Structure 1
Amino acid sequence: MKQIPRGRITNPHITELMEDEVFVFGSNLQGMHYGGAARIACRWGAVMGQGVGLQGQTYAIPTMSGSIASIVSFVDEFIRFATSNPEIHFLVTEIGCGIAGYTPAEIAPLFGEAVTIENISLPESFWEVILDES
């Protein structure tokens, strides 16, 4: 198995953010941030009623729409956004692997393109799946 790039693992217990960091969390389209990482995201500017995109020092990716296929376009949109904002370090949490009920094996492959994008950190569980598949 390949090695995880140094400095690219998201801490599973984020309690503070640096000025140039953004907390990436799973949300629902309605932007009701009541549980899991979404509730924590409210500390850094997640907006109730906004279920997608940049909000303060957070970025919402909807994961509660019913299928993996419905998440793909939101992850792709996030990766494009991160690529066009290289000055920001994006800390992706285990989106979809809590309340939404998916596993890292189901969600991690959606982030395969992020492997080469240096300003995106992923959870260790996602790295393990992605690197195991490559």
Structure 2
Amino acid sequence: MRIESLQPGEIFVFGSNAGGAHGAGAAAMAVERFGAIWGQGDGLQGQSYGIDTMSGFEQMRDGVTRFLRFAESHPELRFLVTEVGCGIAGYTPEQVAPLFEGAPANVVLPERFIRD
């Protein structure tokens, strides 16, 4: 599913880098359409939420953990997660999907992150 627009209360979750250089892929879309802030690599930014996927797997894992805590503390929001880490960062859905296990109900995962 390609996310082209958001409803009120929906948040676009994208992979970023520590420096917040949102120049390509979902990060560029986050800037263009959903309020991401150039220079902010992590956290809530307008109607988007960045997770650093470019500083190593452990950093990405920690970022996903922070994101899941944030999502759990904001049940009024619906988080639409892109395939974070599976583009320029070079990870596979099989590597990244387990990081999202136990996600709260308001987190919508990409199809390739959902295991049968």
TM-score under structure 1 normalisation?
Answer: 0.84
Instruction: Report Cα offsets for 1:78-134 as digits up to 9, x if no partner.
Output: 0000000000000000000011111000000000021xx110000010003xx4xxx
> What SS is found at the alignment partner of 1:113?
coil
Q: How does 1:1-134 map to 2 (within 5 A)?
A: 12-42=1-31, 43-66=33-56, 68-114=57-103, 117-128=104-115, 131=116
**What residue ranges of structure 2 are gaps of 5+ in the alignment?**
none
* Count of aligned pairs between the two proteins: 115
- Runs of 4+, deviation exceeding 3 Å: none
Higher relative CO (Cα under 8 Å, sequence separation at least 6) belongs to: 1
TM-score under structure 2 normalisation?
Answer: 0.96
Larger C-alpha radius of gyration, 1 or 2? 1
Tell me how far apart the structure 2 counterparts of residues 25 and 44 of structure 1 sit (CA, whole Å).
Answer: 11
> What SS is found at the alignment partner of 1:94?
coil
Percent identity over the alignment? 56
> What SS is found at the alignment partner of 2:101?
helix
Tell me how far apart the structure 1 counterparts of residues 105 and 83 of structure 2 sit (CA, whole Å).
Answer: 18
Give the Å deviation of 1:69: 1.7
